[in-house]
Structures are given as C-alpha cells and as structure tokens.
C-alpha cells in the first residue's frame, strides 16, 4: 500500500471523486492554478479545467453563497476556506441558509456541500491563522462536523462526506498536513461518518480527542505507561454526529475521563462531552471529568507552545485524575 500524507490524501479523495461524479466542483481562493495555499488541490485545475476548479475573489461570504446556490441546483460543490479563521464573513450564510435549507424546504432541497478548511495552531500563524472554531458549528443543527487525524481517515472521511446528503464542515489539521504519514489501500474505500476509533487500548483512564491533538495525546499515553497508567485514547473523528456509544463504553471501562482539544476551554466541544458523560455514565466515574485545552485568550504568536495542549499538561491531568 502506498504511504502518503494528509495533503495528498485530500488531493486523492477529491481527484478520484471528481472523476466518479461530474457534479463535484471545487471553488475557493487560489485553489485553481496555484493548487491552494497548502497545495491540497494541486493538479485538479489541469485535469478538470476552469469549469470545475474555480479561483474566486477573496470573499468568503461570496464563496459559500455561490456554493449554496450551486448545491440547490444539483451540483456537489466543495468550497475551500483558506484558513478556518477566515470563515466568519461566511458564518451567516452557513448557519442561516446552508444548515437550515433541508428543514425549511421540507426536504425538497438537501443542499449538499462540503466546506473544507485547515484549522488549528502549530505553524506559527498567529491569532488569525491558528484558531479552532469547531464548536461554533457543532452548535448549529443541520451541519455535520468532521475532523480527521491521519491520512487514512482523511481520505476515507472526505469520500464519505462527498457522498453524504447533508452539508458538512470538514476541518483539516494543518499542523500535521505533512508531518503525519500513513498507508492507504488501493481502490475505493470510505470511513463512516459518526464512528469514533479507539486509537489505543487502556484500562485506567479514557482520553478523548481529535485532529492534530491525537498525536500529542498518544505521546502522553506512552509516557504515562512508564508510570503504570494505561490510558485508552479515543479519536472522535466526527463531532457531529458524535459516537457517544464509544465514549460511554470507554468511560464505563476505565472510570475516568480526560478531554483534550486546541480550542479555548469555555464552551469548547469538551464541555459537551463532559455533560454527556455526566448524564449517561456518572455512576461509573471515579473522579471529575478533566479538560486539557487552549486558553480563553486570543491565540498567541510567541507563546504558541504554551497555549497548545502539550504532553506535560496532559500528564499533569492524568496524574490528578489518578490520585483523586
């Protein structure tokens, strides 16, 4: 099996599905001749031409608004937002129109499209290129939110997203775009939306995470093993719909829960997981649910390594929960 990185996985999924489905069109800033700022769409313009791979003005509201119109008329658009931080001008289009069209039309219009955007820190991008805004979209009924952590899941989840009837926010962890590589099977395959993956088995504590943080958590779990703590690591993969069954099963097994994500703690997605655990598995808990997250501040440039959850911060939480 070939070994590729996450950028290549995105490119492969788009290329293969565009060959299979001529309704798919890609649009966004510099996605055409330049292949995108991270080169995720490189070569698509040459193969499919300007009618299916479209460079747009620097106008996110226009990008998403145009994509919504395309979707209503039967196309399967894949708009790219160059950085998730830039999506806010299009927020109204997404939450007011895109997310509600199926419900508002009584199912006459599905308005299927996949909004792709790189998210998160780790590249010294400063506070306008490093944010993790996934919780805004998980709060909006009608949207699915997908966040892969490796090339296999990236390709499989993106293919599933491109074939799904609902609008999807597909967030790609740019910190590990090229740093993480993995084997991809030949031929067509998909990863189901709404199904988490147990990335590491354990019996003492469950750690729930997604995206780039998975790899930091796995490193912390290996370090904790040396102190006799066997951490189970669950990669959520999809925030909406959330695989709550896997979350609760893990907590029932270990009796302890730690949640790790890059976004600020207040109203971050970890709060939703904490509430669900409290509602459905509180009798299994041996201590409080702990969160290791970004801070409730703008994303810093010079202090990026302190803002992002790290192995020492995760180990501190594991030590606290094990001693409770």
Inter-residue contact 42 to 6 (CB < 8 Å): no
Inter-residue contact 27 to 66 (CB < 8 Å): yes
Non-local (6+) Cβ contacts of 205 within 8 A are: 229, 230, 231, 232, 254, 255, 256, 257, 258, 318, 321, 322
Token pair 């904490």 in the structure block, residue:
274
Inter-residue contact 270 to 247 (CB < 8 Å): no
Radius of gyration of the chain measured on its C-alpha atoms: 19
Q: Which of 262, 268, 258, 266 is nearest to 296 (CA)?
A: 266
Tell me which of 129, 139, 215, 261 is the catalytic residue: 129
Q: Which of 296, 297, 250, 254 is nearest to 276 (CA)?
A: 250
- Count of Cβ atoms closer than 10 Å to residue 204 Cβ: 19
Return d(Cα 284, Cα 292) in angstroms, integer.
Answer: 21
**For this structure, is 127 an active site residue?**
no
Which active-site residues does the annotation give?
A: 129
């Amino acid at each position: 099996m070939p070994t590729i990185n996450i950028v290549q996985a995105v490119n492969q999924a788009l290329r293969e599905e565009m060959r299979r489905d001529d309704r798919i069109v890609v649009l966004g800033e510099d996605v055409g001749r330049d292949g995108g700022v991270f080169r995720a769409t490189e070569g698509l313009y040459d193969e499919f031409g300007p009618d299916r791979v479209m460079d747009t003005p620097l106008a996110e509201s226009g990008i998403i608004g145009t994509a919504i119109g395309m979707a209503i008329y039967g196309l399967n658009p894949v708009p790219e937002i160059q950085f998730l931080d830039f999506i806010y001008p299009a927020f109204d289009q997404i939450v007011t129109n895109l997310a509600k069209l199926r419900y508002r039309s009584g199912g006459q219009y599905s308005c299927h499209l996949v909004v792709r955007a790189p998210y998160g820190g780790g590249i010294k991008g400063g506070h306008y290129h490093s944010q993790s805004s996934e919780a805004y979209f998980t709060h909006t009924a009608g949207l699915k939110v997908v966040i892969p952590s490796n090339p296999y899941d990236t390709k499989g989840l993106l293919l599933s997203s491109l074939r799904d009837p609902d609008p999807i926010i597909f967030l790609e962890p740019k910190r590990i775009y090229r740093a993480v590589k993995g084997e991809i099977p030949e031929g067509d395959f998909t990863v189901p939306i709404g199904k988490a993956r147990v990335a590491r088995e354990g019996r003492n504590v469950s750690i729930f995470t997604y995206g780039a943080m998975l790899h930091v958590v796995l490193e912390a779990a290996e370090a904790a093993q040396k102190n006799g703590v066997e951490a189970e690591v669950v990669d959520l993969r999809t925030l909406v719909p959330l695989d709550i069954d896997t979350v609760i099963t893990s907590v029932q097994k270990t009796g302890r829960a730690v949640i790790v994500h890059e976004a600020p703690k207040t109203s971050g997605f970890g709060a939703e997981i904490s509430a669900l655990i409290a509602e459905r598995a509180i009798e299994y808990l041996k201590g409080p649910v702990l969160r290791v997250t970004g801070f409730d501040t703008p994303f810093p440039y010079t202090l990026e390594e302190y803002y992002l959850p790290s192995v020492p911060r995760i180990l501190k939480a594991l030590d606290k929960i094990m001693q409770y």
